[in-house]
A and B are shown apart, each in its own frame.
Chain A
Amino acid sequence: MDRLKQKPELVAGVDLETIELADEARAVLNKVDGQTECAQIVAAMGGSWEDLSSHFDSLERDGVIQFPVQVTENKSQKKCDLNQEEQDMIVAQEELLREGNYFEILNITPSARGSEIRKAFLAGSKRFHPDMYFGRKLGDFRKRMEIIFRAMKEAHDFLSEDEQRKVYARKILEEQGLADDMLETEDMEAQEAIEEELDPERRARLELIEKQRREKDEKRQRLEDRRRQIKDQRRSRVPAEGNLKKAKDLYEMGMEQIRAGDLYSAAASFKLASTFSPHNGEYRHQFKETQEKAVEQKALGIAETADLDASAGNPAQAAREYAQASDLVQKNERFAVRAAEEYFKVDDYDAAWFYANRAVKAAPRSKKSRVVAASVLEAKQDYEGALVHAEMAQSIDKEDANVKKMVKRLAKEAR
């Protein structure tokens, strides 16, 4: 910065008479009045800047004169792209930082708790974190926002400790209470209770939240206990070398059995393998996968028999078999639809509805499951319910004449 253009001023509180100075320095000092530029002082003394600048330096170092810092401040403000509103917001928050308590810094009341504190911190972060103004020139506001953000973070962290917060909040309320109303020194909890009494609806809501939180905590605890239990069991069962070998052999056997098409035996082998070597996730995975496949295979077998029975004109037998298959693989839409259809034929509408409903759940966007559900409900004389499914079926296939007829018929009945 160019010193020549600056106007040095005297530092307040320095006794100019008692300090020891060389004559030339004294002469410089006498010209310092906060109005005159260095260049003018030098000119008035008839000297050169090269000769005299060291006096300014030493006078400044000794704390006798100072150079006003406004120049730099102006500069940093000029380099800032924030609008007046944003600047005011920052200045106002700085005020809070100087004077306010943790609650005030976050712009909440001392009765605020848990999620309210967190929400306030998140909202504050979105106003004062420098990243929210990325790409804009922030000048010295960058540092100032950092200070604000850190203070908010500190307040959040402090108030997030429940016990700590309670003590702190009570202290603040006491202070305020002493100032205007002694009643305010009541215990925080009691005060909260009074507040809630005023608004039964709010209290009920809070109780519900509290209950849910408790339940969640308990569930969490149970989960954690269970996990630990399993871990402990596993740890206590460190598989011996022999067991690992056994597990491997069993696994190989299971693979053989899969190749031979005997999925049930394979699943059993994998299960056994996983008990010998509980650490190996693959054994467990393979067991689950194979077991699922085995069940599916079995269901398919039963469904094949059911197909034969149905075509042989034995709907009661076929219905039972499809139901069995569907119970094994509940996700299979065809099994459920076929079970519903066959039960429908033998007029067992309750059973038919059970499987029709399952079919709809397994495949809500399937015309077949919708049609069978509509038919069964129609037979049960629930026309409104039937109409819903029929309309769904129509939305899936707009061209189907039978479905169209069905919708028309059901609409009439429903009315």
Chain B
Amino acid sequence: MLTHIIGIDLGTTNSCVALVDKDGPRVLSGAGDKRTVPSVVALTAEGKCIAGSTAHEQAITNPENTFYSFKRLIGRRWNSRDTQEFAGKVAFSVSASESNAVEVDFGGKKVPVLQISAMLLEELKSLAEEALGEEVEYAVVTVPAHFNDRQRQATRDAAKIAGLTVVRIINEPTAAALAYGFGKKLGQRVAIYDIGGGTFDVSILDISDGVFEVLATAGDANLGGDDFDNRIVDWLYEQIEKDHGVDLRDKKDLRPRIKQAAEKLKVDLTGKSEATISLPYLAQKEDGSYINVDMRLNRAMLSELVDDLVMKTIDICKQAMEAADTEIGAVDQVILIGGMSRMLALQAAVEDYFGVPPSKALHPDEAVACGAAVQGYMLKEGELDTLLLDVTPQHLGLVISGNKFETVIEKDTTVPARARKIFTTTRDNQESLRFRIAQSSDLSFDEFEPIGEFLLPNLKALPAGAVKIEVIFEVDTDGIVQVSATDKDTGEMQQIEISGPGEMEDDHIEEIRVFNRTVQGLPVVNANGEIVEAPVQGAGDQGAVAGESQESLPEESSGDAEDNAAADESPESSPEESVELEAEPES
């Protein structure tokens, strides 16, 4: 039997750990007013790694070695637009890894982003252990609903480095719904509006007879409190430029201070109609005089600064409602979570759209962790007569000729899910077919991300379109995707399993784990239970660490070695051209 399964909300700005047992849910990360942990990791001048509150407190004096908002980079490709945009805004330095993932400069060493996440997770784990007085091994971890497979996998691996086994990854809004509905006899349709520090998600769920069925989810990976803050930050820069004639945008070291002031301003404006910002001696001008900032912002001005962001969230709500085939009046309850949901302008817009006043039954910062813990409890107990029916987070399919994405399993399909489609060849006498499996969050832009590929050899020499290949996609409740392709004529079959738990090599995880514990000043225990002496004190002296995560799938299909079977293909034709959807897919 499993011991405790904790719930972890690994947030962009703040994180939280909770546990549910027969006495109900409780937060393990802190007590009193401070029950969340800032999602901040830092490397001190002494070469020690710190995470959480202590890291947050020293952010201003140590901007280049303080890492925040890194959830926005986890599992991302370096050359994606989102990464590039974000990289320009942070004070710490980020770069590309060999496999096109993102690395951060950690005291002169390049480490993968998930390694930073792991440091935070380790802190959360130890907080939970402190609160419970026993060791914790299992966790349900939440991610934004729009997170793709790579991001989920990277999160899983980060947890593994931190010494946690992730029994399930669930979406944040889903977790909130679990926190809301668990233990109540409900027959409701609910909308969860989740706006956190960096991400926005909305989910529509049906809760009845103890079954939580996710109907649809929609979200924006780059819309959250940070964006609202950045609007204020931009406004501040503008005002400073207007008042003092100095453009401070290039001064990266000032940014954390200005950002913190902007955050405070935003928080103040939820309680008051007007708030002031004061940044004495912010910077020195060329003539030696100081720039003292003293400004006033009121709610209406703030509303105006962020109006389009608010409207964007409502548009996403509409998408979700359409996907859930739900009419406005059918929503019984709207639940707001995430720190940003305290903003009155957002609450007004949500009420305006759904026609129901948003429920404030849940704590916006703790609900997600509690919901994750609820799922852990549901799974562990097994006999509570409650069940979560989750869905696939993205469209899954194949890349076909013309570099187009062909969906096989649609987004928001209940898992376990299975679907089949018939594909065929594009050229005469084709000997093999390369299947490139991909996921897509938005079909309208024909954007997709490859997640794996395999080759089906030994095809019969037939004219283009005559070979029939049955492709079957399966997704189980752990989110593991299995794809098989079978030649209907020859019975030749190939299959691949994508995103099994722990895709990263165990050795590699162990290596990173040891490094992380060393820089955190924690004892490293080896397999025999002996404490290994920490080899080096400072990260700067640390030998080669880092390395790649699972984020090393080839960007382009390599087209060599293993591709021998397709040797007769003309060199200029890319392998992906070889798959084509059969004109009349079998029902």
Chain A residues with CB under 8 Å of chain B are 118-119, 122-123, 125-126, 129-136, 146, 149-150, 153, 216, 219-221, 223-224, 227, 244, 248, 251, 255, 258, 273, 279-286
Which residues from A are CB-within-8-Å of B299? 282, 285-286
Assembled-state Cα–Cα distance A280/B298 (Å): 13
- Would you call A227 and B355 a contact (CB within 8 A)? yes
Assess whether A130 is in contact with B477, with CB atoms less than 8 Å apart. Answer: yes
Complex contact B329–A281 (CB within 8 A): no
**A234 (CB) vs chain B CBs: closest residue:** B352
CB-CB nearest in chain A for B2 = A135
With both chains docked as a complex, state the minimum distance between the C-beta of B583 and any C-beta of chain A, in angstroms: 25
Task: State whether the Cβ of B1 lies closer than 8 Å to any Cβ in chain A.
Answer: yes
B358 within 8 A of A: no
A-B contact pairs, 12 of them (CB 8 A): A125-B211, A134-B167, A220-B329, A224-B328, A227-B355, A255-B298, A273-B300, A280-B300, A280-B303, A281-B344, A283-B303, A284-B348
Please give, as numbers and ranges, the residues of chain A lying within 8 Å of B211 by CB-CB distance: 122, 125-126
**Interface: B136 (CB within 8 A):** no
Q: Is the CB of B345 within 8 A of A285?
A: yes
Partner of B355, one of A133, A135, A223: A223
Cα distance A125–B328 when bound, in Å?
27
Q: How distant is B210 from chain A, measured CB to nearest CB, in Å?
A: 7
- A-B complex: 10 closest residue pairs judged by Cβ atoms: A220-B329, A281-B348, A282-B303, A146-B416, A134-B379, A122-B209, A122-B211, A281-B345, A282-B300, A282-B299
B418 pairs with A286, CB closer than 8 A? no
Instruction: Give the interface segment out of B22-30, B94-102, B385-393.
Output: B385-393
User: With contacts A223-B328, A255-B274 known, is A134 near B380, CB below 8 A?
Assistant: yes
Mark B363-386 against chain A: 1 for CB-CB distance below 8 A, else 0: 000000000000000111010011
B385 A126 Cβ-Cβ under 8 A: yes
Of chain B, the residue at the smallest CB distance from A123 is: B209
Q: Report the Cα distance A136→B2, complex, angstroms.
A: 10
A residues near B302, Cβ cutoff 8 Å? 282
Closest to B383 in A: A132
Q: Are A251 and B328 in contact (CB under 8 A)?
A: no
B510 at the interface (CB under 8 A from A): no
Asked whether B208 is an interface residue with its Cβ less than 8 Å from the other chain, the reply is yes
Residues facing A in B454-499 (CB within 8 A) are: 476-477
Residues of chain B within 8 A of A284, CB atoms compared: 348
A283 and B298 CA atoms in complex are apart in Å by 11
Does A131 lie within 8 Å of B345, measured CB to CB?
no
Whether B307 sits at the interface, judged by CB under 8 Å, is: yes
CB distance from A291 to the nearest CB of B (A): 14
- The answer to whether A282 touches B382 (Cβ under 8 A) is no
Alpha-carbon separation in the docked complex, A133 to B307 (Å): 47
In the complex the two chains form, is A132's CB within 8 Å of B274's CB?
no
Residue of A nearest to B301 (CB): A248
Quick one: closest B residue to A149, CB to CB?
Answer: B416
On whether the beta carbons of B389 and A286 are closer than 8 Å, the reply is: no
Q: Does B417 contact A (CB under 8 A)?
A: yes
Q: Is B329 a contact of A125 with CB atoms below 8 Å?
A: no
| Complex CA–CA separation, A150 to B42 (angstroms) | 47
Provide the bound-state CA to CA distance between A149 and B476, in Å.
11
- Say yes or no: is B349 at the interface (Cβ < 8 Å to chain A): yes
A118 and B208 in contact (CB under 8 A), knowing A251-B300, A280-B300, A283-B300?
yes
Contact between A135 and B1 (Cβ–Cβ < 8 Å)? yes
Other A-B pairs, 12, CB within 8 Å; known A279-B307, A286-B299: A122-B209, A126-B210, A129-B387, A131-B378, A134-B382, A135-B2, A219-B329, A248-B300, A279-B311, A280-B304, A281-B349, A282-B345
A153 to chain B, nearest CB (A): 6
Q: Which residue of A lies closest to B355 (CB)?
A: A223
A122 in contact with B345 given A129-B387, A224-B329 (CB within 8 Å): no
Q: Check A131/B477 contact, CB under 8 A, given A118-B208, A122-B208.
A: yes
Among B329, B345, B348, B417, which residue has its beta carbon within 8 angstroms of that of A150?
Answer: B417
Chain A-chain B contacts (Cβ-Cβ < 8 Å), number? 107
Chain B residues whose CB sits within 8 angstroms of the CB of A119 once the complex forms: 209
CA distance A153 to B476 in the complex (A): 14
Most buried by A among B274, B378, B477: B477
Question: Complex: how many Å from CA A368 to CA B69?
Answer: 54
CA distance A223 to B327 in the complex (A): 10
B531 contacts across to A, CB distance below 8 A: none
Q: Does B205 contact A (CB under 8 A)?
A: no
Q: Across the interface, which residues of A come within 8 angstroms of B526, CB to CB? A: none
Q: Which residues of B contact A221 (CB under 8 A)?
A: 329
Assembly CA distance A228 to B561 (angstroms): 60
Asked whether B477 lies within 8 Å of A282 as measured between CB atoms, the reply is no
Q: What residues of A have a CB within 8 angstroms of the CB of B476 in the complex?
A: 130, 146
Closest to B307 in A: A279
B273 interface hit (Cβ, 8 Å): yes
**Chain B: CB-nearest residue to A244:** B304
Q: Which single residue of chain A is at the shortest CB-CB distance from B385?
A: A126
B residues in contact with A153, CB < 8 Å: 414
A314 vs chain B, min Cβ distance (A): 40
Do A131 and B379 touch across chains, with their CB atoms under 8 A apart? yes
Give the residues in chain A near B210, CB-CB below 8 Å: 122, 126
Docked CA distance A150–B473 (Å)? 13
Q: How far is the CB of A158 from chain B (nearest CB, A)?
A: 13
Which residues 41-75 in B have Cβ within 8 Å of A in the complex? Answer: none
B330 located at the interface, meaning its Cβ lies under 8 Å from any Cβ of chain A in the complex: yes
Among A132, A149, A248, the residue within 8 A (CB) of B382 is A132
| Identity of the chain A residue whose Cβ is nearest the Cβ of B351 in the assembled complex | A281
Task: State the CA gap A133–B381 with chains docked (Å).
Answer: 9
Most chain A beta-carbon neighbours within 10 Å: one of B300, B388, B477:
B300
Minimum CB–CB distance for B570 against chain A, Å: 33
- Decide: B387 and A125 in contact? CB cutoff 8 A: yes
C-alpha spacing A227/B353, complex, angstroms: 8
Q: Distance (Å) between the CB of A19 and the closest chain B CB?
A: 20
Distance, CA A118 to CA B389, complexed state (A): 14
Contacts of B477 in A (CB 8 A): 129-131
Q: Which residues from chain A contact B378 at a C-beta distance below 8 Å?
A: 131
Would you list which residues of chain B between 278 and 325 have a CB under 8 Å from chain A? 298-304, 307, 310-311
Task: Tell me, in angstroms, the Cα distance from A366 to B330 when the chains sit together.
Answer: 38
**A286 engages B273 (CB within 8 Å):** yes
* Complex contact A255–B273 (CB within 8 A): yes
- Quick one: closest A residue to B303, CB to CB? A282
Please, how many angstroms separate the alpha-carbon atoms of A348 and B379 in the complex? 65
A122-B208, A146-B476 known; A220 vs B327 contact (CB < 8 Å): yes
Closest to A230 in B: B352
Q: Are A224 and B327 also in contact (CB < 8 A) when A126-B210, A126-B385, A146-B416 are?
A: yes
- Determine the distance from Cα of A273 to Cα of B344 in the docked complex, in whole angstroms: 17
Contacting pair B355 A132 (CB below 8 A): no
A279 to B274 Cα, complex, angstroms: 20
- Which residues of B, 518-562, contact A by the 8 Å Cβ criterion? none
Residues of B within 8 A of A129 (CB): 387, 389, 477
Q: Cα distance A131–B328 when bound, in Å?
A: 31
Beta-carbon nearest neighbor of B209 in chain A? A122
Chain A residues contacting B311 (CB-CB under 8 Å) are: 279
Q: Knowing A131-B379, A224-B329 touch, does A281 contact B209 (C-beta < 8 A)?
A: no
Using CB atoms, name the residue of chain A closest to B349.
A281
> Which residues of the partner chain A approach B352 to less than 8 Å between Cβ atoms?
281
Known contacts A122-B208, A227-B355; is-contact A220 B303 (Cβ 8 Å): no
Residue contact B382 to A133, C-beta cutoff 8 Å: yes
Chain A residues near B380 (CB-CB < 8 A): 134-135
Q: Which residue of A lies closest to B380 (CB)?
A: A135
- Which residues of the partner chain A approach B301 to less than 8 Å between Cβ atoms? 248
Q: Which chain B residues lie closer than 8 Å to A223 at the CB level?
A: 328-329, 355
Report Cα–Cα, A244/B300, bound state, in Å.
Answer: 11
